C-alpha cells in the first residue's frame, strides 16, 4: 500500500462478475472503501459479505439509477475514484448482417453508461482535488477486426471519450486512465457475446496458453489507481503473450 492509499474510496461498476468483481476484491485488500455497483443484487450482496464492500445495485444506463447511486455515495462520505468497468459485447456479425438491437445495447452500456457515471461524479471528483477516473476499454477500441464492428465502434467511442475527458479535466487535477485489455478469459464475457453458447465461448480460448484472467487485469487497475496522484498512466494495453495482436493469436494443439 502506498502512502496515498489510506482512506481512499472508489466506485467500481460491473462489480457482479469478471474484472469488476476482481477489482473490488483487489482494492478492498488495499484497504480502500469500495462501492460495488452492478445490476444483479444477489451477486453484489455475496461480494459485499465476502469483502466488506458497499453493494449498490444500479443499472448505469438508467438516469434514475445513476442519480440514486450518486446520492447514496454522497451520503456515505463520497469517493475520489471512479472505475468504469461495466461494459460488454453482443454478437460477432459483420456490418452487412448487423443487428441494431445488439449495437444499441453496446453503445448504451460501453459509451453512454460511462458518460452518465462520469458526468454524475465529476463535481465530486473535482471537489476532492485529487480525483481519478479509470475507464476499462479494450484493444477492440484501438484496432478494428472482422466481425467486431459493433464492439469496435462502441469501444472506439469509449476510448475517444476517455481522451477528451483527460484534456478537459487536467485543470481540475483529475487524472484519467485508460486500460485496454486484449484476450481475457472471464466467466461471462464471451458467453454473453455469443448468445449463451458455451461451446462457442470456450472455443474462443481453445489452445491459447495462459489467456489473461480477471485478476490479472484487476491487478493493473489496482496499481494504476494506487500510484501517487501525480503519476498518470494515460493508456495501458495488456495482452497475454500468446496474443501478439488482435489478429494474431498463438494456439497450441489445435
Q: What are the residue numbers of the active site? A: 151
Q: How far apart are CA 39 and CA 16, in angstroms?
A: 8
In the chain, at which residue ranges do the beta strands (DSSP E only) sit? Answer: 9-13, 33-38, 54-57, 81-84, 132-136, 175-181, 235-238, 243-245, 248-249
CB 74 within 8 A of CB 11: no
The pairs formed by 123-127 with CB atoms below 8 angstroms and a separation of 24 or more are 124/70, 124/73, 124/74, 124/78, 124/79, 125/79, 125/80, 125/82, 125/169, 125/172, 125/174, 126/169, 126/172, 126/174
Burial (Cβ within 10 Å: 0-12, 13-18, ≥19) of residue 191: middle
CA 196 to chain centroid, in Å, comes to 21
End-to-end CA distance of the chain: give it in Å, rounded.
43
Do the strands 243-245 and 248-249 form a parallel or antiparallel pair, or are they unpaired? Answer: antiparallel
Q: How far apart are CA 9 and CA 27, in angstroms?
A: 9
| Cell numbers representing residue 25 in the block | 476484491
189: phi then psi, degrees, rounded to nearest 5:
-55, -60
Amino acid at each position: 500500500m502506498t502512502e496515498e492509499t489510506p482512506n481512499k474510496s472508489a466506485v467500481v461498476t460491473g462489480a457482479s462478475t469478471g474484472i469488476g468483481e476482481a477489482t473490488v476484491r483487489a482494492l478492498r485488500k488495499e484497504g480502500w472503501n469500495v462501492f460495488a455497483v452492478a445490476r444483479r443484487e444477489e451477486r453484489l450482496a455475496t461480494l459485499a459479505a465476502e469483502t466488506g464492500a458497499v453493494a449498490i445495485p444500479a443499472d448505469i444506463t438508467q438516469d434514475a439509477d445513476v442519480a440514486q447511486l450518486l446520492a447514496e455515495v454522497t451520503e456515505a462520505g463520497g469517493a475520489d475514484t471512479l472505475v468504469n468497468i461495466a461494459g460488454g459485447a453482443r454478437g460477432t456479425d459483420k456490418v452487412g448482417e448487423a443487428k441494431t438491437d445488439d449495437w444499441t445495447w453496446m453503445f448504451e452500456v460501453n459509451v453512454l453508461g460511462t458518460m452518465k457515471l462520469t458526468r454524475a461524479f465529476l463535481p465530486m471528483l473535482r471537489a476532492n482535488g485529487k480525483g481519478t477516473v479509470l475507464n476499462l476499454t479494450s484493444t477492440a477500441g484501438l484496432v478494428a477486426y472482422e466481425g467486431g464492428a459493433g464492439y469496435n465502434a462502441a469501444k472506439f467511442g469509449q476510448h475517444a471519450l476517455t481522451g477528451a475527458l483527460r484534456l478537459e479535466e487536467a485543470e481540475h487535477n483529475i487524472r484519467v486512465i485508460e486500460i485496454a485489455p486484449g484476450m481475457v478469459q472471464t466467466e461471462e464475457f464471451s458467453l454473453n457475446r455469443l448468445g449463451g453458447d458455451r461451446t462457442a465461448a470456450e472455443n474462443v480460448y481453445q489452445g491459447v496458453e495462459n489467456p489473461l484472467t480477471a485478476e490479472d487485469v484487476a491487478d493493473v487497475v489496482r496499481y494504476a489507481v494506487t500510484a501517487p496522484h501525480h503519476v498518470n498512466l494515460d493508456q495501458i494495453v495488456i495482452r497475454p503473450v500468446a496474443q501478439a495482436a488482435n489478429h494474431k493469436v498463438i494456439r497450441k494443439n489445435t
